[in-house]
Structure 1
Amino acid sequence: MVNDPLNLDESGEWVGEWWLPSAPADQVPGVLRYEPERGLELSLIGTFEDRVMSSPSSSGVAVHGGQRTWEVIHGAAERFEITLLDCVPTHSRRSIGGRVKGPDKQTVAVMTALIGVHARGEDEPAFSAAEVSVEDFGLWVASSVFDGFVGAPDGKLDGSGGISVKPVEPQSVVAEGTEFRVTHRHTLPFFDRRKGETVGRMRDTAFMRVVPPEPFSLSDALGSASLVQDLIALATHRAAGVIWLRLESVRNSAAPQNGCLASRRNVDVLYSPSALGKHDAKAVDHHRVLFTCASLPFEEIMPRWCKAHRRLQAATNMILGLRYAPARYIENNLLTAVGAAEVLHRGLRIDERPFPAGTFKAMRDAMLAQVPEEFRDTFKRSLRNDPTLRDRLHALAARPDQEAITLLMPDVGRWANRATRARNDLAHEGRTSDHSMDELIAVVDVTTAVVILNVLHELGLPAERQREIVQEHPQLRATSQRAHRWLVSPEIGD
């Protein structure tokens, strides 16, 4: 369909005229091409001046002093206004000195393209709403316009059945002043008649619509897309790619024209998200999903996620990074997982000081009195009344449902000790010779699971569902098996 959003995993091409906003009369013909794996490239027949020329020297010759880049390029192509952002010339060929004069050529790498609007920059508040589609979003929202049945009178299939379509009411909630709405868009029935068969099909697309209270910028829209993407990545326990992102321009006219309301002015965004969504790829198995809106209602999860994402973003970014990046080096994964646990503990603001403030000050003053004056400042900086990493790990393990934690690992103390020892050995000595590879894998997986269970606990996931996740999710079940083998104190193992 012409009005379908532009999928980020599909190629595109726009032929038109292009110009710098400061010189709209100087238009250059060219082609904008988008390839999912390569990104955006503008090929011009002609050039924008990309040379920075210094003032003429004493000989009267200007010296080439560098290369220009352009924050914004505007274009008109395929009946669309187009804005290109963060543009860098990668190749310019001028025909000076040739036997036959030919056109100059220039190639420009582009970070982001807005198809459908001329914007002044990524921070211009030019949009009123954003719509984003993320992989497995339809599975997560646990709703569909489709309903089906198979005829089986007396328990025997009789060949009858049917698929019915009923529009789904949007689910909507306001969180921190912004409206988040789950919306379904479905096509009409279509019969594809082939020589040997007939295929009937419809399509249901679920996506998130985000409507802030005030006009917002592209930067804000990308932040909203990341918010939704991170939520689905957490819920599915895997990388979740963005399939498409569409904005609604504030330049829409809500006033009737010739008796009809003006249609929305949609703006498609082409960019490189942290993960590229595949719109035709098979959905994740529902057994591998940590939670959906069936276990935690959408009206509850979104306000909680907005708060948790802002407050715990550093920790969630580190853990989600293990889902997006290949897990090739156990040392990197160890630092990331244990670091995420430490950052999460700080973000939750549940620190308990080892000593009362007055007691600690008296102890510190007494020790400092015994230190030579030239070393006193250095020694003072090393004395901190903060919980240790081992204390932080114990505190995190005490927060989620305790039965779920017991199912995950039999010995919290052993895990906290071995995780602390491994992190410290690696950070201070550059090696983990006291740990086998299998034990390190167990430490990383258990620590990651503890962080995830804490985030889910913050979101209000019921205790029963936390237990089900540990028992039924294939990856967490394997983590539990490793913990029972490698993270058990000798006396417990005996």
Structure 2
Amino acid sequence: MTNDPLNLEEAGEWAGLWWLQDDPDETVPGVLRYDADGGLSLALIGAFEDRIMSNPRPGVTSYHEGTRTWDVIHGAADQREITLLGNVPNSSRRTFGARVASPDKQTITATVAIIGAHVSGDTDPAFVMAEVSVEDLGLWAATSVFEGLVGAPDGRIDGTGRISVKPVEAQSVVVGDTEYRLVHTHTLPYFDQRKGGAVGRMKDTVSICVAPAEPFSLSAALHEASLVQDLISVATHRAAGVLWLRLEVAGSESHLPDGLTLPRRRADVLYSPAALGKHEAKVVDRHRVFFTCDSLPFEEVLPRWCQAHDALQAATNMILGLRYAPARFVESNLLTAVGAAEVLHRNLRIDKKPFPKAEFTAMRDAMLDQIPEEHRDRFKGVIRNDPTLRDRLYALAARPDQKAIAQLVPDVDHWAKRTTRARNDLAHEGRTPNHSIEELFTIVEVTTAVVILNVLHELGLSAERQREIVRDHPTLRYTAGLAREWLVASEPD
């Protein structure tokens, strides 16, 4: 359907005319091509001037090393306006002086394409709504327009049944001056007639619409898409790829003679998100999902996620990296897991200084008085009133539901001590002679799980659901077993 969004995993091609934003009268024919692997490439029959030139004096042109780039290229193809951003010439072939006259050729790579609008740059407030769909969004929403019924009179299936559709009302919440809506869009039924049979089809698509009070830019839209993508990644504990991103163009409303207003013009965004969605990939196993809108309603989790996103993003990215792109060596994974814990502790701003500020200042000044003046700056930079890694681990373990933590880490003190020693040995000596590979692996898994529980706690997941996750989620249940085997003190440290 021509009204469908452009999927980021599907290839596309647009033949048309192209021009530089500051020179709209000089158009060049060419073809824009997009595919998920190769990105965006514009092949021109002709060329934009990409040489860097200067005129030191009248009648003299100097050519300099390097090539020009263009922030914005506009185009018109398939009856749609197109904007290309972040453009770099990849190759240029000029035929001046050739034996047979033929046009120049030039290939340009672009970072982003907006199919359906001309904008002046990624900060141009040209849009009024962004709509994004990511993998597993329908599973997370925990709603569907479909209902199925199998006929079974007297308890025996008789071959009858039906699939019915009941529209789902959009869920909405306002955060600051921005409205977020969880929306279902379904197609009308149709029959796909094949030589070997017929298939009846309908499709339910789930998306999140983001509508700020004032027009916003492409950069803001990409930020909102990332915010949604990160939320679903946390909820499903897997990299949730972006399927498509569509924008509504400000000021594009039109009116019919009878006074009815037609919808705004829509523009599709082609770019390379952190993870690319696959439409036909299997849905994640429900047992591996941390929460859905059933356990944490949409109108509650969105405001919390918007508030906590910046503080949680670095830690969650590191944890997802461990989950889906782990390093080959356990030592590297150890540094990542412990780093995620430290980053999360700092960003949550729960630091408790070891000493009162006045007391610490007095102690530090007394120590510095004993240091030769030429070395004081060096020592002053070393003496800090910051919590240790062990302090941070204790603090993180104290935040989620304590029964969930007790299931996951039966000996918090031993875990904190062994994790601290492993990280310090690796950081200072480059090796961990006091830990077995099995213990190091367990430390990585347990520390990762503690960070996850803290993120879920910060989002407001109930104590009961935290306990269920530790008990039932395959990964955390396995981690709890490792902790009982490898991270319980057999004798006092």
TM-score by length of 1: 0.96
Partners of 1:275 and 1:324 within 8 A in 2: no
- 2:6 corresponds to which residue? 6
Give the structure 1 partner of residue 146 of structure 2.
Answer: 146
Q: Percent identity, aligned pairs only?
A: 67
Q: CA-atom RMSD, angstroms?
A: 1.9
Match of 1:36 in 2: 36
Q: How does 1:2-401 map to 2 (within 5 A)?
A: 2-55=2-55, 60=60, 62-253=62-253, 255-401=255-401
Determine the C-alpha separation between the residues in 2 that align with 1:9 and 1:368: 61
Q: Which AA in structure 1 matches 2:489?
A: S
**Matches of 1:324 and 1:131, distance apart in 2:** 27
**Letter matched to residue 41 of structure 1:** S
Q: Which amino acid aligns with 1:205?
A: T
Alignment: residue pair count? 493
Gaps of 5+ in 2: none
* Cα pair 2:131 2:247 within 8 Å, conserved: yes
Moved over 4 A (4+): 56-61, 254-258
Which whole-Å CA distance do the structure 2 matches of 1:264 and 1:58 have between them? 51
| Cα deviation digits, residues 431-462 of structure 1 (max 9, x gap) | 22322222222111111111111111011101
Change (3 A) 1:382 1:257: farther
Q: Report the secondary structure of 1:283's partner residue.
A: coil
How far apart, CA to CA, are the structure 2 residues paired with 1:57 and 1:20? 27
- Between stretches 354-363 and 439-448, larger displacement belongs to 354-363
* Mapped partners of 2:396, 2:223: distance in 1: 28
Q: Map Cα deviations across residues 42-97 of structure 1 (whole Å, 9 max, x no partner).
A: 00000000000243599956233321000000000011100000000010001123
Residue in structure 2 matched with residue 407 of structure 1 by the alignment: 407
Go from structure 1 to structure 2 and tell me whether the alpha carbon gap of 1:15 and 1:58 turns closer, same or farther (over 3 Å shift). Answer: closer
What amino acid is aligned across from residue 176 of structure 1 in structure 2? G
Query: Contact 1:117 / 1:249 at 8 angstroms: preserved in 2?
Result: yes
The alpha carbon displacement at 1:349 in A equals 1.7
Further displaced range: 439-448 or 292-301: 439-448
Taking the aligned partners of 2:328 and 2:242, their CA distance within structure 1 comes to: 24
Which amino acid is the alignment partner of residue 217 of structure 1?
Answer: S
Secondary structure of the residue that 1:234 maps to in structure 2? helix
Measured after TM superposition, the shift of residue 368 of structure 1 is 2.2
Please give the secondary structure, in 2, of the residue aligned with 1:351.
coil
2:250, 2:264 within 8 Å by CA — same for their partners in 1? no
Change in 2 beyond 3 A, CA 1:85/1:329: farther
Letter in 1 for 2:157: L
Question: Relative to structure 2, which stretch is displaced further, 303-312 or 326-335?
Answer: 326-335
Measure the CA separation in 1 of the matches of 2:78 and 2:213: 33
Deviations 1:386-445 (A, max 9, x none): 111100100100110111111112211121112212222222222223222222221111
- What SS is found at the alignment partner of 2:272? coil
1:458 aligns to what? Answer: 458
Give the TM-score normalised by structure 2: 0.96
What is the CA–CA distance in structure 2 between the aligned matches of 1:83 and 1:440, rounded to whole Å?
50
Name the CA distance, whole Å, in 2 between partners of 1:177 and 1:200: 42
Separation in 2, partners of 1:351, 1:248: 43
In the alignment, structure 1 segments of 5+ residues that lack a partner are: none
Aligned AA for 2:6? L
Secondary structure at the counterpart of residue 18 of structure 2:
strand
- Residue 486, structure 1, aligned to residue 493, structure 2: no
Q: Is the 1:8–1:276 Cα contact (8 Å) retained in structure 2?
A: yes
Q: Which has the larger displacement, 209-218 or 348-357?
A: 348-357
- Paired with 1:466 and 1:51, the residues of 2 have a C-alpha distance of 60
SS in 2 for 1:207: strand
Contact 1:471 1:477 (8 Å CA) reproduced? yes
Deviates more, 1:39-48 or 1:338-347: 338-347
CA distance in 2, matches of 1:113, 1:344: 35
How big is the shift at 1:347?
Answer: 1.7
CA contact (8 A) 1:54 1:65 kept: no
Q: Which moved more, 1:16-25 or 1:155-164?
A: 155-164
Q: What code does the residue aligned with 2:242 have?
A: V
Quick one: which amino acid aligns to residue 196 of structure 1?
G
Matched letter for residue 168 of structure 2: V
Question: Residues 198-241 of structure 1: CA distance to partner in whole angstroms, max 9, x if unpaired?
Answer: 21111000000000111000000000000000000000001010
Secondary structure at the aligned position of 1:379 is classed as: helix
Q: Distance in 1 between matches of 2:59 and 2:425?
A: 64
- Find the aligned partners of 1:81 and 1:238 in 2 and give their Cα distance: 36
- When residues 201 and 61 of structure 1 are mapped into structure 2, their CA distance, relative to the original with a 3 A threshold, is closer
